[in-house]
Amino acid sequence: MRIGIDCRKIYDIHLNIGAGVERYVYHLVKHLLLIGRGHEFVLFVRADLSPETIHRLKGENDRVKIVKQMPAISNIPFISNHWNFSRLLKKEKLNWTIFPANVLPLFYRKRSLLVVHDLAIYNHPEWFPDGQWLAKRIIVPRSIRKASMIAAVSESTKNDLMKIFKVKEQKIQVVYPGVVIKEDYAAEEVVKVLKKFDIKNDYALFIGTIEPRKNIPKLIKAFSNYIFENEESQTSLVIAGEKGWKFGGVFRELNEFNNRLTGSRIKYIGKISNRERNILIGNCRAFIFPSLYEGFGFPVLEAMALGVPVVTSNNSSLAEIATGASYLVDPYDVNDIRRGIKTVLEDKILRYQLVAAGKERVKNFDWDKTARQFVELMSKI
C-alpha cells in the first residue's frame, strides 16, 4: 500500500513544540514506519518542521517520502488547510491516508483513517475558547462522516462518537496508544533538573496544559487542605505545563494559598522539556491528575511506567485506563482529592500495590501493537 500520513500536527523534538496530540502523532508515525516496511509512506509535514525530527522519523528508509506543505499564498488558513492540502494529497495517488489529529480536509474524498482523540468540546463547550465554531459545527462533524474508518483512542471516545454523532459501531475501532518513556537518567542529570526548579524535598506532581478542564484550582485547594491538616509534612506540589487559556484563576489561587502556607509549598515551573518531564515524574512522590475529562491520559500511564503511584479522576478514559492501578477520586470533590493525596502519600502498603499494578497495566499499551492495528485496519478494506 501507498499510505499518506498528515503530519502537520506533529511534535518537534528539536524545538520541543507540541503537547498530547502532537506527541501521539510523532510516536504513531515513528512506529508505523518501523513495522510497515513492506509499504510506501508519504509524510505531509509543515515547512518549518526541524530537520532533526524528520531524520529521527525517516532515518535511512528509502520507502518514505517527505512532502512539505509550504506556507499558503493566500492569507486564509481555510484555503491552505482544506483546498490546497486536498490537492497536495491527491497528487500522491495514495491508497490510504491517515489523519491522526481529529480532522481531515473538507475536499478530500479518498480512503481515509481518522483518529479521534476526544469530543470534550461538544459535552463541555465552556472549557474551550470561543472562535471554534467552524471546526465544531462543520469540519469535525464532516470529517467524522467522511472518514472510511475511525480509530478512537479509548472506549470513552468511541462511546462519545456513537452518542453525539450517531456513528455506527462497525465504523469505529478502539486503538489504544502506546507509552514510550526514558527512565535511565544519570544521577547528575536528576540533580541538575531538581536544582533548576529549586525542588529540595519530596513533591507531588501535576503535568498538563493550564486550562479549565485540568481542574487545577481544585487540586490546589485539595493539596493546601492536606498541608493545613498535616503540618509535619514537607511535601510540596509542583505544577508543570504550558499556559493554555483562562489560566489567570489558577495563579490567583496558587498565590493565595502560598501566602497562607509556609515556604511557598505550591510551585508552578512552566513548560518543560521531554527530559525534564521524565525526570520530574520519575522522582516525584505521587503523580496527581484530577482532570475533569480526558480522551486518553498519557501522563497517567507515563507515571505508572516510571513506578510512581497515581491519583486520578474516576471519569472518561481515566477510569478506563487507571481503574485498579491508581487511586481514583471524584474530580469535583475537593475533599475526595485531598483524601486521595493523603492516602497515596502516606499509605506505604497501598503505594507498593499501586506501583506494582501500574507497571502491569502499562504493558497493555505498546506502540508497535498500535501501529500493527492501524495497518490491519487499512488492509481489511
Q: Which parts of the chain have pLDDT scores under 70? A: 70-76, 262-263
Instruction: Provide the pLDDT for residue 72.
Output: 52
State the pLDDT at residue 232: 85
193 vs 126, 202, 275, 280, 288, CA distance in Å? 36, 14, 9, 8, 20
- Residue 206: the pLDDT is 97
Cβ neighbors of 91 (< 8 A, separation 6 or more) are none
Whole-number pLDDT of residue 70: 66
Do 292 and 128 touch, CB atoms closer than 8 A?
Answer: no
Question: Which pLDDT belongs to residue 136?
Answer: 87
pLDDT in tens, 201-252: 999 999 998 888 999 999 999 999 999 998 888 899 999 998 877 777 787 8
Tens digits of residue pLDDT in 111-147: 999 999 999 999 888 888 777 888 889 999 999 999 9
Q: What is the pLDDT of residue 231?
A: 82
Q: What predicted TM-score, i.e. pTM, was given to this entire model?
A: 0.90
**Superfamily name with CATH number, domain 187-362:** Glycogen Phosphorylase B; (3.40.50.2000)
Q: Are 290 and 220 in contact (CB under 8 A)?
A: no
Q: What cell does 327 get?
A: 487511586
CATH 3.40.50.2000: which residues of the chain?
2-178+366-380, 187-362
Share of the chain above pLDDT 90, in %: 70
Torsion angle of the four alpha carbons 22, 25, 30, 32, in this order, in degrees rounded to the nearest 10: 180
Could you say which of 3.30.230.10, 3.40.50.10800, 3.40.50.2000, 3.30.40.10 is the CATH number of the domain covering 2-178+366-380? 3.40.50.2000
Query: How much is the CA Rg of the chain, to the nearest whole Å?
Result: 21
